[in-house]
């Protein structure tokens, strides 16, 4: 079964990229977790009711994967 890909509004996508940059600049692990939690909360608004709930570790993994691609 094919799923429709998640499309974020431009302002949400920009906030995600901004937070990704802040995540890697943060020296404190608590600050990194705070940034990832903020994005988890923002992204969960765009999930469907049947989608698996995002965890902070999922967002951190997304940040890492995007860093490796850039």
Question: Residue 6's pLDDT is what?
Answer: 66
Three-state secondary-structure class, residue 57: helix
Please, which residues have CB within 8 angstroms of residue 18's CB and are 6 or more apart in sequence?
none
Question: Residue 67's pLDDT is what?
Answer: 83
CA 38 – CA 14 distance, rounded (Å): 14
Mark the ranges of the chain whose per-residue pLDDT is less than 50. Answer: 1
Question: Residue 47's pLDDT is what?
Answer: 86
Cα-based distances in Å from 62 to 1, 16: 23, 10
Question: Residue 21's pLDDT is what?
Answer: 95
pLDDT cut 70: percent of the chain above it: 90
């Amino acid at each position: 079964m094919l799923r429709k890909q998640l499309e974020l509004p431009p302002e949400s996508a920009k906030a995600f990229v901004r937070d990704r940059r802040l995540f890697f600049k943060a020296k404190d692990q608590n600050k990194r977790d705070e940034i990832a939690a903020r994005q988890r909360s923002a992204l969960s608004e765009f999930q469907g009711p049947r989608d698996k709930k995002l965890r902070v570790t999922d967002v951190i993994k997304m940040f890492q994967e995007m860093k490796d691609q850039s």
